[in-house]
Amino acid sequence: MVSTHECRPETSFARAPLPKCFCNLDRLVHALEVRGLDGIVATSSQNVFYLSGFNGIAHKSDEPRPYAVMLSRHALEHPIIVIADYYLATFLTQPTWVEDVRPFRAIMMGLDLPPKPDDIDRFIPKSGARIEWVVRARQSYAYDMAGAIRGAMKDLGLDSGRIAFDDMGFGFRLGLDDVEVIDGYDPLMFARAVKTAAELPLIERATRLNQTAIERTVASWEKGVTWRDLNNSYHRAVIELGGFVRDPGGMVWGHPRGADSTLMLQTGLEDFEVESGTHVMFDCHGTLDLYCWDGGKTWVVDGAPEGDAKRRLQATGEVAQALLTAMRPGVKVSELQARGREVYRKAGVPDADAAVIFFHGLGLSHMDVELTTADGKPNGDWVLEEGMVVPLHLLYPGGERERSWLEEVVVVTPEGGRPLFSWGFEPLTGS
């Protein structure tokens, strides 16, 4: 059994409709104002989801995106979403605050047949046909996406001025002569950086799923298990719980054998026996309701840490505790890194400079932090703000029986960081 905690009883993370609006509109509007932008057009799947709640099935990231959300800074009460006709009924299941939904005739309708206004009826359930927004959507049915977007932008007064696009290429392809196409990546990341009260429970739930899946994976180990078996056990646990991982896998770190202390990420091609005493570094990625989970910690397979390894793991826990206290609004990432290294030195590890200490945002991506601030400066050494979700990564390198790893997912508060994992900073031990 896992000796440092009790396995959590949670066995299912059943999905349910999300709130109508969970995006940080106030921050988005502020980002547009300080950059002198009149509005924004979002077409990436994460940003469309963030602004509308739409999470379309059967679509890959490099395919033409059959959806777009438009928001004018001067008409905040009237966002518009343009969407492929076959996705229209999605909003009968997942409500949205965007009440102006405009479908267009898409790939399912044959090119060998002339377009007709009632083509949209194929995609409207009888039970929803008389709902007010559906009636309006039917009336606005367009025969091509570009035309629908140009019309929507004109209605919002976004057919001229400085307009942000999260895909600038899409903006240029629209061919709007009076529009100055601006990169919309940073305004949206600025908004996404600070989580709303509706978002935090989604990230907390995703983190619980990850913890439960890791605990199940540890419990599945027996002598002879290989690295690929272990990965498959984690993936199986995630799917059974209701989450998702992406190709090539959900477990991130590679594990060089013997005394090799190289920092490596796995490729999905590795395979070796996971022997007793191995230090497995659980850094697991996946999504639930499109919100990312991250993190994990060291598992000492079928045993407990010994000697120098025990001292390094203990030092890593001390660093994590000190950094949680320090993770308050206003602190810079570089200051946290320096503080962590100072604690490692005081703990007496052989080489504090060898420790890897890093941070990033977390939400709909493993970034959620703007790259460039509104005044045009690089945002590499970014500042923590209240309501950010920031994974804390600590890795003290070593061989397969020495390396120490801890990644905690932290909500930034005025009182310091609030950890989302419930299992503390001690390594997982046993089997």
The strand pair at 67-72 and 80-84 is best described as antiparallel
Are 88 and 228 within one domain? no
pLDDT, residue 353, reads 97
Mark whether 220 and 162 lie in a shared domain.
no
Please indicate, yes or no, if residue 381 is contained in any of the structural domains: yes
H or E segment at 403?
none
Q: Which residues of the chain have pLDDT under 50?
A: 1-9
- Regarding whether 247 and 106 lie in a shared domain, the answer is no
Residues 107 and 166 in one domain: yes
Using an 8 Å Cβ cutoff, are 395 and 405 in contact? yes
Cα 177 to its chain centre, rounded Å, is 35
Which residue type does 345 have? R
Contacts of 196 (CB under 8 A, 6+ apart): 22, 23, 24, 387
Q: How high is the pLDDT of residue 61?
A: 81
163 and 297 together in one domain: no
Distance CA 129, CA 137 (A): 10
Burial (Cβ within 10 Å: 0-12, 13-18, ≥19) of residue 124: buried
Q: Are residues 280 and 186 in the same domain?
A: no
Pair 184, 311 in one domain: no
pLDDT value at position 11? 61
Report pLDDT for 330.
Answer: 98
Q: What angle do CA 334, 337, 338 make, to 5 degrees?
A: 90
Query: What is the CATH number for 206?
Result: 3.90.230.10
Determine the pLDDT at residue 10. 59
Do residues 94 and 224 share a domain?
no
* One-letter identity of residue 189: M
Domain assignment present for 9:
no
Q: What is the pLDDT of residue 251?
A: 97
Position 6 in a domain: no
- The number of beta carbons lying within 10 Å of the beta carbon of residue 379 is 16
Residue closest to 115 by CA, chosen among 87, 82, 148 = 148
The CATH number of whichever domain residue 55 belongs to comes to 3.40.350.10
pLDDT digits (tens, 9 = 90+) for 118-146: 999 999 999 999 999 999 999 999 999 99
- What is the per-residue pLDDT for 62? 86
Q: Distance between CA atoms of 289 and 389, rounded to whole angstroms?
A: 16
Tell me: do 267 and 410 sit in the same domain. yes
- Domain holding 116, by residue range, is 25-193
Instruction: For residue 49, give Cα distances in angstroms to 23, 85, 288, 352, 389.
Output: 9, 17, 13, 42, 19
Of the three residues 158, 193, 228, the one that is the final residue of a domain is 193
Domain boundary among 193, 221, 236: 193
Q: Are residues 347 and 206 in the same domain?
A: yes
Residues 304 and 379 in one domain: yes
Residue 414 in any domain: the answer is yes
Q: Is there a single domain that holds both residue 346 and residue 374? A: yes
Q: How far is the C-alpha of 114 from the C-alpha of 111, rounded, in Å?
A: 7
Instruction: Specify the pTM.
Output: 0.95
Convert the pLDDT of each residue in 211-251 to its tens digit.
999 999 999 999 999 999 999 999 999 999 999 999 999 99
